[in-house]
Amino acid sequence: MATMTTDLNEVPFLTSKLNVYRYNQLNGMDQPMTPMTHVPPEKMCLAMDKVRKFIELNDLKFEICPISEKRICIREMPGDISEDTEGALHEAIFETTGFQRKIDRWGSRILCWCGYETQEINTNFDVNEIKTNYEKYKMDYEGAKDWSYDWIKPARPTMVKSAGKT
């Protein structure tokens, strides 16, 4: 269950600050806004943490974060536009998550995928599936090289321990 609150201490599970979406709620024209905090469901927070670990492990210039309307966004960091082999590889990797590719309405070439926090996100990052996707996308990128298994460090299994209340 997602949590909307004004106090992060009300969230019923531990999570990273990166999984928290903060915004201001309007209270009428002449009233001050109320700062709000939204935390996606625990299952999605764990999935976002897995994606973050994969991004970090493979030194990808991407981030994953909750955004408005209870959505999750995987996006390229500004200033790091993927081209050639890198662009095809990034498309191949993040297509495997099952999120929908989004195009920036202002004409930016930044790669971006969005999904809702209630949907399933695939965090396996299967190298063979990524390779299949890469072969499909490399035709769209001038100068893209032939596939190499050295490009991807496979995701390591993540063990989650819970501190039970006694």
Q: pLDDT per residue over 149-161, tens digit each?
A: 999 998 766 555 5
Mean pLDDT, rounded, for 7-34: 81
In a domain, 25, yes or no: no
CA separation for the pair 77, 5 (Å, rounded)? 28
Share of the chain above pLDDT 70, in %: 83
In a domain, 54, yes or no: yes
In a domain, 27, yes or no: no
Q: pLDDT band at residue 166, thresholds of 50, 70 and 90?
A: very low
In a domain, 21, yes or no: no
In a domain, 119, yes or no: yes
pLDDT for position 154: 82
In a domain, 132, yes or no: yes
pLDDT digits (tens, 9 = 90+) for 116-147: 999 999 999 999 999 999 999 999 999 999 99
pLDDT for position 108: 75
Helix (H, G, I), strand (E, B) or coil at 112: strand
User: What residue numbers bound the domain in which 75 lies?
Assistant: 40-145
pLDDT exceeds 70 at position 95: yes
First to last CA, the chain: 23
In a domain, 26, yes or no: no
Q: pLDDT band at residue 2, thresholds of 50, 70 and 90?
A: low
pLDDT exceeds 50 at position 83: yes
25-34, 105-114, 157-166: the lowest-pLDDT one: 157-166
**Domain count of the fold of the chain:** 1
pTM over 0.85: no
Q: From residue 143, how far is each of 91, 112, 129 by CA, in Å?
A: 15, 22, 22
In a domain, 73, yes or no: yes
What's 56's domain CATH number? 3.90.1150
